[in-house]
Amino acid sequence: MSTQDLTIPITAPPRPWRDRIGTWAPILVLAPSLAASFVYVFLFTAWTLYLSVSNSSLLPSYDFAGLQNYVSLWSNRRWNIAYTNLFLFSGFYIVGSMAVGLLLAILIDQRVRGEAVWRTIFLYPLAVSFIVTGTVWNWLYNPVDGIQALVRSLGWSDFSFALTADRNYAIYAVIITGVWQSSGFAMALFLAGLRSVDPDLVKAAQIDGASAFRTYRKVVLPTIAPIFLAVAVIQIQFAIKTFDLVAALTRGGPGVSTTFPAIYVYDLMFQRGQIGEGAAAAVMMLAALAVVLVPYSFWVVWRRRRESGHG
């Protein structure tokens, strides 16, 4: 009897209303953001997915049309150019900016003077928009006013550098500019990685008489291998979403030679009134991202589990 009398008030105190709201507060606070994100991520994706199998043209329509948009997409020559460009660009862009970024990171890591100044110089393009970069490089590539004119005026009168004027080479102008813009990003990540390498490991290699080059190749770089993968994945993501850079640099031209998937989507949806096929192209972009990101995130989760399991 007496114990019950004592325990009841302790285990079940009358809860004031403020308290009851208090327990719901976290969920209530989260709810609007959650709802908005869910609409954005799931509803909007499903919506576009549906548009891609509808017969929408100038206006969205919700009559089911099967895979007709996908068939016409994949038989379109311009889409063919778009994804060929994407592969070409991704390859050169990733390898190029990782190579330059790694070189710069290793050089800066040699205890150079004014490290902050070097880093600031190599990273500033990232603060600036692709629109600004693209616009300025468009001028530099201009054969009449830009780099070609400069070199010719210095005396090399048949020097030719007119990438953006040539449909076979314009894609390389996009690649060069892309590498210029983002090798600083690779540098920042590599530098962070180099700084996290255990200095004892490096010292041990040096005591064993390994040259600086060998030390990097055999000891340092293997330990930062995950960073290579992270940089590559992020840059593939950038590449798939490439839109602004091309819009400002070449506008997809000359002709359609620098069309990218994102440019294609925009063009079909808003310039040509082929919403259904544009949506199909957008879905293909999403699929491409998923192909890259889903395995990668599984790998990251797996690695984390393994690490926490061991340690």
Partner 1 sequence: MAEQAAALLFDAEAAAASRRHFWTRFAIYGVLTFFAAIYLVPLLVVVFNSFREQEEIARNGLISLPQTFRLDAWRDAWSSYCIAGTCEGMKRNFFNSLWMTIPATIISTLLGAINGYVLSKWRFKGSEVLFTCMLLGVFMPGQIALMPWAFVLGKLGLTNSTYGLILVHVIQGISFTTLFCRNYYLGIPDDLIKAARIDGAGFWRIFRKIILPLSPPILIVTVIWQFTGIWNEYLFGVVFTSGQQQPITAALVALTASGTTARAYDVMSASVLIGALPPLLIYLLGGKYFVRGLTQGAIK
By CB under 8 A, the residues from 45 to 104 that bind partner 1 are 45, 47-48, 51, 60, 100, 103-104
The residue (of 5 and 280) whose beta carbon lies closer to partner 1 is: 280
* Window 23-42: contact mask with partner 1 (x via CB under 8 A): --xxx-xx-xxx-xxxxxxx
The residue (of 43 and 225) whose beta carbon lies closer to partner 1 is: 43
Residue 224: C-alpha distances to residues 105, 115, 195, 231 (Å):
12, 21, 10, 11
Using CB under 8 A as the binding criterion, the count of chain residues that bind partner 1 stands at 94
274 is a contact residue toward partner 1 (CB under 8 A): no
**Which letter, b or e, does each residue of 122-138 get, where b requires 16 or more Cβ atoms within 10 Å of its Cβ?**
beebeeeebeebbeebb
Shortest reach from residue 34's CB to partner 1, in Å = 6
Q: Which stretch binds partner 1 (CB under 8 A): 2-10, 76-84, 91-99, 237-245?
A: 237-245
206 with 121: CB under 8 angstroms? no
The residue (of 22 and 66) whose beta carbon lies closer to partner 1 is: 22
Find the binding residues for partner 1 in span 171-190 (CB under 8 A): 180, 184-185, 188-189
**Angle, in degrees to the nearest 10, between helices 77-108 and 225-241:** 140
Shortest reach from residue 155's CB to partner 1, in Å = 14
| Choice from 241, 253, 254, 256 touching partner 1 (CB under 8 A) | 241
Find the binding residues for partner 1 in span 132-171 (CB under 8 A): 132-133, 135-140, 142, 145-147, 149-150, 153
Find the binding residues for partner 1 in span 191-210 (CB under 8 A): 192
